């Protein structure tokens, strides 16, 4: 079973994801796509990448949202329709599993696919799409998984776009005693097997993606996409602190008391708008060689 995520956490992080992703790579991807592109979003969650990237594509487009969690898939469709209608666009349902969002530049056709990504690419209809995209996914997967995806994309000459891959550069401010042990435990947790056929890449993801696609003859573009979260964002700074401490406790049990003290202090700072966080990410766009 692959890693699962809570929909409320995905909703909480969405605006920070949107502010962090690199605009230049999105524009470059949009320019490389055909007139009416078909995009497959791996680990789509609640559909936040579609809601962001669709505007850069800026024309009629079709999306296949792939996720293992049926509840997240249902939430994705509901959220996409609600957000569309909130800005004055019409959302219609031509079929039980198909949503049409009628944007001023053309319709967005959206379908879902429930699939365990641990089995990818064998269980994906890659012959029916023009690009493969994902966000905050590749640090969870194994090197072998990335290499298989690269080979499958290369066989069909598909662009591959992976946003928000962690780099391992993180900073909680102000500094506090306990930062080092929490970061050490958290990084150990990032590298555990998360159900994708081996040790998760964690901070090695950007290099692993670049190497796998370069080996297939792709041109690889990279850009920083750090989360920069200031002290006014108390809800997400608290959630990040809790997530880091929870992960660290599983690996640094001898330091359990120190980690608990660290978390209590960080939660207090978050509530009092005194905690800011920077988490390093990198976006990657891999484009196939020209014919």
Question: pLDDT of 103-125, one tens digit each?
Answer: 999 999 999 999 999 999 999 99
Q: What percent of the chain has pLDDT over 90?
A: 96
Q: What is the pLDDT of residue 117?
A: 97
pTM above 0.85, yes or no: yes
CB 138 within 8 A of CB 209: yes
Largest CA distance in the chain: 59
Average pLDDT of the chain is: 96
CB 241 within 8 A of CB 230: no
Residue 5 has pLDDT above 70, yes or no: no
Q: What is the pLDDT of residue 4?
A: 60
Q: What is the pLDDT of residue 1?
A: 45
φ/ψ of 282, rounded to 5, equals -140, 135
Rounded to whole angstroms, the Cα distance separating 226 from 19 reads: 9
CATH number of 7-170+200-228+280-287: 3.40.50.150
Q: What is the pLDDT of residue 223?
A: 98
CB 290 within 8 A of CB 174: no
pLDDT in tens, 141-199: 999 999 999 999 999 999 999 999 999 999 999 999 999 999 999 999 999 999 999 99
Rounded to whole angstroms, the Cα distance separating 145 from 131 reads: 17
Q: How many CB atoms lie within 10 A of CB 182?
A: 25
Q: What is the pLDDT of residue 250?
A: 95
Based on C-alpha coordinates, what's the Rg of the chain? 19
Enumerate the β-bridge partners of residue 124. none
pLDDT in tens, 220-262: 999 999 999 999 999 999 999 999 999 999 999 999 999 999 9
Q: DSSP assignment, residue 123?
A: T
In residues, how long is the chain? 291
- Kindly state the tokens that stand for 108: 């967005």
Helices (H), the chain: 7-20, 23-32, 48-57, 70-86, 143-156, 179-190, 205-214, 234-249, 256-271
| Closest by CA position to 138, among listed 154, 119, 117, 153 | 117
Average pLDDT over residues 16-37: 98
The helix or strand, by DSSP H or E, that contains position 68, with its residue range, turns out to be none
Q: How many helices (H) and strands (E) does the chain have?
A: 9, 10
- Kindly state the tokens that stand for 99: 């949503």
User: Who's near 71: CB < 8 A, 6+ residues apart?
Assistant: 7
């Amino acid at each position: 079973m692959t890693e699962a995520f809570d929909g409320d956490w995905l909703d909480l992080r969405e605006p920070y994801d949107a502010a962090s992703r690199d605009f230049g790579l999105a524009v470059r991807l949009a320019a490389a796509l055909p007139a009416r592109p078909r995009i497959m979003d791996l680990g789509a969650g609640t559909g936040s990448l579609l809601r962001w990237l669709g505007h850069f594509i800026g024309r009629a487009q079709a999306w296949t949202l792939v996720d293992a969690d049926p509840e997240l898939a249902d939430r994705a469709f509901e959220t996409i329709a609600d957000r569309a209608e909130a800005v004055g666009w019409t959302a219609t349902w031509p079929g039980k599993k198909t949503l049409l969002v009628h944007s001023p530049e053309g319709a967005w056709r959206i379908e879902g696919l429930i699939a365990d990504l641990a089995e990818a690419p064998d269980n994906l209809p890659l012959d029916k799409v023009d690009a493969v995209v994902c966000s905050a996914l590749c640090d969870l997967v194994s090197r072998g998984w990335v290499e298989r995806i690269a080979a499958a994309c290369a066989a069909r000459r598909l662009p591959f776009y992976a946003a928000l891959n962690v780099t391992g550069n993180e900073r909680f401010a102000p500094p506090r005693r306990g930062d080092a042990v929490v970061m050490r435990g958290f990084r150990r947790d990032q590298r555990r097997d998360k159900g994708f056929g081996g040790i998760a890449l964690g901070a090695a993801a950007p290099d692993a993606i670049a190497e796998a696609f370069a080996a297939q003859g792709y041109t690889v573009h990279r850009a920083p996409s750090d989360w920069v979260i200031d002290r006014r964002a108390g809800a997400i700074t608290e959630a990040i602190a809790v997530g880091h401490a929870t992960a660290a406790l599983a690996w640094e049990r001898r330091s359990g008391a120190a980690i608990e003290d660290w978390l209590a202090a960080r939660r207090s700072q978050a509530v009092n708008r005194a905690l800011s966080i920077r988490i390093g990410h990198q976006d990657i766009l891999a484009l196939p060689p020209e014919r």
